[in-house]
Amino acid sequence: MLDDALEELRDRFVRVASGNRSKGAWRDMDLNLCKEQFSFAYVNAVAAAAGFSTVRPSVDVESIDLTICSQDRTGRFRSPKLDVQLKSTAQDILYEEVIKFPLKRKNYDDLILKDILVPRILVVVVLPDAEQEWLSQSEDGLLLRRCGYWISLSGRPETDNQYSVMIEIPRRQVFSVESLTEIMRTIGREGKL
């Protein structure tokens, strides 16, 4: 499944890089949908490399785009799970120590909840502005450019903002194999983040 998604993305980006955007499915897909698909591929690649599986709910009701699952039996809690709200952007949101991302109010309200069984995080995947720079591939490797950053908003205060809340994520919180593994270990030990 992951290989098929990455292969499809690679084919689309090859068309972009070669200037052949007018042919094939790429032209028919909205740029924001392409960013969304790229961010799913990024998170799926990290999860797979960490040894976890992912599940996409058929409907995004509570700002859950993806659930990451572990079959780990070493912690206090077996088979920990993590719900992910996934966002992507090519905007310049990188600052010296943080990224700043405007999160829709509805997503914020869903992610600050504390009385939930499965912990939730926000992952923001930052992409280069130029689409042809998002991905490159050779026989030696596949490179997805820029990266994702994660944060748990559980327990944050409610907001009076009407439309969005500016979220600051420390740049050290890269969504990586190492950070995801530690997140899942924490959930397995404590049942929460």
**pLDDT 10s digit of each residue in the chain, 193 long?**
556 655 665 665 555 554 444 434 455 778 889 899 999 999 999 999 999 999 999 988 899 999 999 987 767 888 999 999 999 999 889 999 999 999 999 999 999 999 999 999 999 999 998 888 888 899 999 888 889 999 999 999 999 999 999 999 999 999 999 999 999 999 998 878 8
pTM value is: 0.84
Token pair 């993806």 is found at 66
Q: Which helix (H) or strand (E) holds 132?
A: none
Q: Which residues make Cβ contacts (< 8 Å) with residue 15, sequence separation at least 6?
A: 21, 23, 24, 26
Q: Going edge to edge, which strands form the sheet with 120-126?
A: 53-55, 66-69, 81-89, 120-126, 147-151
Strands (E) across 64-173 are located at 66-69, 81-89, 98-104, 120-126, 135-138, 141-144, 147-151, 164-170
Predicted pLDDT of residue 22: 40
- Rounded to whole angstroms, the Cα distance separating 175 from 43 reads 8
Taking the alpha carbons at both ends of the chain, their separation in whole angstroms is: 28
* Cα four-point dihedral sign 130, 131, 135, 139: negative
For residue 187 the two structure tokens come to 């959930």
